Each structure stands twice: as C-alpha cells, then as structure tokens.
Amino acid sequence: MLITFNFEVHQPHRLNKSIDKEGRTLWEKYVDTKLNKEIFNKVANKCYIPTNELMLELIDEYNFKVNYSITGVFIEQALEFNDYVLDLFKDLVKTGNVELIGETYHHSLSSLFESEEEFIEEIEMHKKLYNEIFGFKPKIFRNTELIYNNRIAKIAKDLGFKAIFTEGIEKILGWRSPNYLYQSPDGMKILLRNYRLSDDIGFRFSARDWDQYPLMADKYAMWLASTPGDVINIYMDYETFGEHHWKETGIFEFLRYLPIEIAKYEHLEVVNVSEVVERVEPRGEIYVHEFATISWADTERDVSAWLGNKMQRISFEKLKDIGRFIKENADKLKKLGKFEEIYKMYKVLQISDNFYYQSIKGLSDMSVHNYFSHFDTPFDAYASYLNILYDFEYYIKELLAKSEISKNNDKTSNDNTPPSRKEIDKKNLSKESPVKSDIIVASNDIKDAESIYNQDGKEDKDKDDKDSLIIA
C-alpha cells in the first residue's frame, strides 16, 4: 500500500474592507497589505516555520516523503513578508523527497470560466513561477480546492500533466473505493483524496467530543495499515499544523512520530505522488460532467462554497465582465502604461477566497467560512467586494475616456478652424465627467442581495441538524 501526504499551502491577498481613497496605486486602494503581513507572519511562526523545520528532520532521519501545492499568491507574500519561510520550502525541495504539485497561480475559479484561456494562463503562470523559485517542473496537477470535472482533466492533460487530484467522494465513486488510481474519459489519471482519513487529522484531531480522541500516531498508522487498496492519498491544509490545531494539542508530536509508526508495517510505503502514477495502474473511469462539478469544500463537495448564492454569482459575473473589457482594451491600456497594474489587480480579484467569504450557508458550513474570513458577515464581504469591482471598472473607463479626450484635443489643436459653441460645451462636459459612474448599479445589487442573504440564510439553517462539519 502506497501512502502520499499532500498539503495545500495558500494565503490570499485579503482586500480592504473599504476602499482607501488616499491610495496612490490600485494595490494600495484595494489590498490590505498590513493585515496580510500580520496574518502571514502569525501563521509563519505558528505553522510554516516549525512544520518545515520538522519536515526537514523527518526527511533526514526517516527518508520521509511529502508533496506540496503552493499557490503563487502565497509565494508572493513569502517574498514580501518573510523570505525565511520561502528558504525553508526551497531547502525541502532540494532534498529530493519533496514533490511540488501544479496549481492555479492565484488560487482562482478560472476553471469555471466559459473560455479555457484564463485557466490555462493561470496554470502556465504557476508553472513558470515554480521554475523560477524552485527550479521544479510539476508533473501532477490539482485545481483550486480540488475543483474537478471532465473538461478540467482534459485541459490539464493537454498541458502535459500526468495526473490530477480531486475529492474521493461517493457521488462520483458509487460503491468503489478512493484508494485506487482511476482515469478520466480522456485517459487522464486521477488521484483521489481519502477525505475521511484526511479529515481525521485536518479537522477532528483536536475535537474532544470525537469518539477517537485523542488521535495518536500509532493509532493512525494502524488505520492506514488496515485500509484496503493500492494507494491512500492524504490531503489537507498545511496550516493544520500549529494554526488550525495549536501546538498545545500535540499535533507536532503526532507528526514527529508518524513516520516511525508507519515504518512498523512492512506493506506501507510513503511516496511522492508521481511515484503512484508510475507504479499503479488505473482501476476504472471517473466521469464528472461540467454540471456536476465537484470539489473538496463544504458538505456538498461542489462549487456552492463560492457560487452557491446570488451575491456570489453577481460578483463572479461582474468580475468576468470586467476581465473581458480589460482584454478588449489591452492595446490602449498598454500604450498608457497601465495594463500590467490593471491586469494584476484583475487577477487578485479572481482569488477564490473573495467568493468564499460571501457564503451564506447554514451553521454547519458557515463556521468554517467565518473562520477564514476577515469580514464580520458574508454581506459585508459582498458589499466590499462589489464596491471594489465597480470602483475598479470606473477607474479603467475613466482612464480610457481621458485618453480619448486628450487624443481629440491634440487633433483639434492642429485644426485652425474655430470651434463652435456647441463643440466647446461638449468638450467642457467631457472634462467634468469622462465616464458615467456605475456606483448606482452596485448599490442596487447590494440591496437586491440583502433579501437573498436573509432568505437563504434561513433556509440553510434548517439543514444544520442534518449536516456534519467537514473542513476542506
């Protein structure tokens, strides 16, 4: 039995709760750099640094193997706020026992866009970053939050990946086990997360009301050893160690002794994910239509964590509209020297966390959403995000309008014909308001969503007694 330990490493660029009108750049106006630095360094001290140092010890002493999917936005923050964290990840990769898994650069929902262009661009950006920072070319791909369907698998296969990760959920498996390798209709190999054994650590480890508490390394190794199949894929947030479960819970001692306990079972072998693909044959086909897209998030294990209510869908559609507008005017924005700044902000606004904060599900899932959000309520997250979207759009339109006015003024200065009174009035009006504001529309969208927030929140509350809380 092969065992893989896989960890998602991600920190979003959290947005300001209100637009900073004094900001000199789009980044200063929209991104809360102070908060991001504070959170990154807090988690670095509690999780990234001690866990990475422990992983280096385990690799040195027990030849332990581990796999990481590290988002581009995490790497950006490590470079800016705490380069020692990044140095530790570099040291881990250099051991040869660590494999990096491909991701979307901005941990985005680009795989759900109608066009493949945005998704492919995100993946290629991430591959380039891995090469620049770690000198590593990923062979295995995992989409944001394990979002998966047949189309996503085909795109990843066409980009040269050997396999893709997703959730080993019953609705795609039926009677089958997640502890085997499968393949998509296009022949892409599929690695499935064993969510029960993953969540035993990721979610239930410090739950004192759990009937298996406390979880010790020897008990967990015994569970692994008694599980049938070809491969067990354990996948969780890296922040499990020290942040989700504090040091005082014994999580680091658990990790320290886990390789020792696993080694007691001769049929267990901890490997890197690419080794699974090379050594194990697929046992069947997994078919997931686009309308049945799955993920590892929330009880439903679908995309409702990000697009399950009207607020989220309004935000998502508006973001896509702005993206199309930016691309249509790319040449003009490049001539103005503003394209790179604008396009980067558009990418930051794609980060999936922005939509996750807007979820209004019942308490069973809501407590998880609230844990990660820096907003007081999902409605606050929506109002803030939508205001930034409309302000961002207005900024771009105003920039293009002023450029067009300047161009027309240059033409007029070369014409000796005196302008008419009507032309002068039109010119003055353009100076005052080069583009009509859409802030009224934003206000209407927010008011419209208020009733949705209250209505959906009440409906979801009725499910609380039936749902079980699962962190993903």
Cis peptide bond upstream of 185, omega within 30: no
The verdict on whether 145 is a catalytic residue reads yes
> How far is residue 462's CA from residue 104's CA, in Å, rounded to a whole number?
35
101 closest CA partner among 45, 132, 146: 146
Two tokens, residue 193? 């997360």
Q: Which residues pair with 3 in a beta bridge?
A: 232, 270
- The beta strands (E) that lie in 356-404 are given as none
> Locate tokens 């006015």: which residue?
405
Q: Name the 3-class secondary structure at 383.
A: helix
- The beta strands (E) that lie in 36-168 are given as 66-70, 98-100, 140-142, 163-167
Q: Contact 76/11 with Cβ under 8 angstroms? A: no
Q: Contact 280/231 with Cβ under 8 angstroms? A: yes
Q: Name the 3-class secondary structure at 471.
A: coil
Two tokens, residue 15? 């947005």
> How far is residue 205's CA from residue 208's CA, in Å, rounded to a whole number?
8
Torsion of the alpha carbons at 268, 269, 271 and 275, rounded to the nearest 10: -90
Q: Phi and psi dihedrals of 283, rounded to 5?
A: -100, 0
DSSP 240: G
Two tokens, residue 443? 């206000």
> Locate tokens 């498996």: which residue?
173
In this structure, the chain runs to a length of 472
> How far is residue 150's CA from residue 276's CA, in Å, rounded to a whole number?
21
Q: Of these residues, 8, 99, 145, 243, which one is catalytic?
A: 145
Catalytically active residues are 145
